[in-house]
């Protein structure tokens, strides 16, 4: 009799474990699919907002460089290889109308392909309505760059990467 009770308890326990395992995999699957659905909905909603606001053109490159939208600001980096290094042009603009911001303090931290880091200060070029600096060196490969702009006490950051 005790053997029969033990068998029933063991069989019931195994059954509960199997049911629990299936219910958790269903939950994980439904969570993953709902997360993917939500992520897709967010992307679609963002694209719709961009199209409705008429700003889809705002996040595109105006000067042929890499664009980062940071809050109300539009940052565009245009690197150009030169004999003594890489000339960097940074367009810092208000995102809504792309008006140039001339009075910011702009700095960058650049990591070269060989792992060395350099700090750069950008200067404003009023004729071109952008910031400019020279990254010395001729290392070829992928560069990582973090730009920080101080606009009247407000910090704006952008991350860029480029190959030379």
pLDDT tens by residue, 29-45: 444 444 444 443 443 34
Name residues whose C-beta falls within 8 Å of residue 124's C-beta, 6 or more positions apart in sequence.
102, 103, 104, 106, 130, 131
- The phi-psi region of residue 58 (left if phi > 0; otherwise alpha if psi is between -120 and 50; otherwise beta) is alpha
Under-50 pLDDT residues of the chain: 24-58
DSSP string, 76-92: EEEEEEETTEEEEEEEE
Q: What is the pLDDT of residue 20?
A: 58
Query: Global pTM?
Result: 0.62
Q: How far apart are CA 60 and CA 135, in angstroms?
A: 25
Question: How many CB atoms are located within 10 Å of the residue 93 CB?
Answer: 19
């Amino acid at each position: 009799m005790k053997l029969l009770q033990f068998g029933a308890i063991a069989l019931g326990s195994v059954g509960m474990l199997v049911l629990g395992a299936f219910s958790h995999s269903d939950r994980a699957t439904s969570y993953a699919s709902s997360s993917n659905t939500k992520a897709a909905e967010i992307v679609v909603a963002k694209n719709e907002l961009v199209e409705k606001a008429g700003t889809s053109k705002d996040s595109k490159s105006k000067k042929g460089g890499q664009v980062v939208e940071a809050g109300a600001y539009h940052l565009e980096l245009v690197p150009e290889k030169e004999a003594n290094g890489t000339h960097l042009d940074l367009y810092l603009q208000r995102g809504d109308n792309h008006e140039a911001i001339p009075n910011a303090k702009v700095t960058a931290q650049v990591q070269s392909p060989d792992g060395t880091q350099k700090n750069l200060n950008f200067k404003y070029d009023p004729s071109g309505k952008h910031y400019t600096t020279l990254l010395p060196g001729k290392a070829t490969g992928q560069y990582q760059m973090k730009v920080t702009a101080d606009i009247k006490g407000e910090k704006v950051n952008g991350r860029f990467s480029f190959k030379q």
